[in-house]
Amino acid sequence: MGADSARTFFTADTHFGHRLMVLYRGHALGADSRDDVTLEQVRAHDEDIVASWNSVVSAEDVVWHLGDLTLKHTTEIADTLRRLNGRIRLVLGNHDRAHPLFRERAIAAQQELLRSGVEYVCTAARVTIPGGNSGRFPVMLSHFPYRDSYGEDRRFRAWQLEYSGDWLLHGHTHSHAAMHAELPRQIHLGWDAWRRPVSETEILHLIRSA
């Protein structure tokens, strides 16, 4: 596949190495709490993500990861990152150590990510996807849903975008649904809803059918 045929995908909330997510996602049979989750079960969870990711993403593709890549130091999952196909652009989530929520420690964590092959790091972005009258359709990217549209956790309020009228692609909620009536013009792309990266074509279909 050449550069001209490279595609763009979106995902969120992989939570590599996160024992609670391993338990929540059913990868730790017999465990009653995250303390019971074994290293083997964590590895199996992470390997399932790598296999699913690489089944749809090619090396030349772009993957916008909408946050909570991992709570661990990047060096602890460096081998996993190297085996993920595509050029990864990370919109930081509250569990990513490179997020400004982690204050001065975030700078070193951002440098770790860039050394490990992540192409770009930010807290929000505005991109376009194919579609619309002009040939491209603008969407906002954030780990969090729009401000005042989800919950009352004020720890993250400063990092939630104000509603702009644009569609928003986000993670964070761990919902099993892509869209929710209480979150208008927003699409949830977390791993718990999709179990794989999502293509621009699929996103445009959701927007047109809303």
pLDDT in tens, 187-199: 999 999 999 999 9
Report residue 112 as tokens.
């770790």
φ and ψ of 20, to 5 deg = -65, -40
Instruction: Say what the pLDDT of residue 183 is.
Output: 86
Say yes or no to pLDDT of 153 above 90. no
What does the alpha-carbon distance between residue 12 and residue 169 come to, in Å, rounded to a whole number? Answer: 10
Q: For the segment 12-62, what is each residue's pLDDT rounded down to a tens digit?
A: 999 999 999 999 998 888 888 989 999 999 999 999 999 999 999 999 999
Helix (H) or strand (E) holding 87: strand 87-91
pTM of the model: 0.93
What does the alpha-carbon distance between residue 144 and residue 154 come to, in Å, rounded to a whole number? Answer: 12
Q: For the segment 158-183, what is each residue's pLDDT rounded down to a tens digit?
A: 899 999 899 999 999 999 999 988 88
Q: Which of 148, 73, 152 is nearest to 116 (CA)?
A: 73
What range does the domain containing 29 cover?
A: 3-209
Instruction: Say what the pLDDT of residue 152 is.
Output: 61
Q: In the chain, how many domains are there?
A: 1
Q: Which residues contact 105 (CB under 8 A, 6 or more apart)?
A: 97
Instruction: Say what the pLDDT of residue 2 is.
Output: 52
Q: What is the CATH number of the domain that holds 195?
A: 3.60.21.10
Average pLDDT, the chain: 92
Q: Which residues contact 119 (CB under 8 A, 6 or more apart)?
A: 87, 88, 89
**Length of the chain (residues):** 210
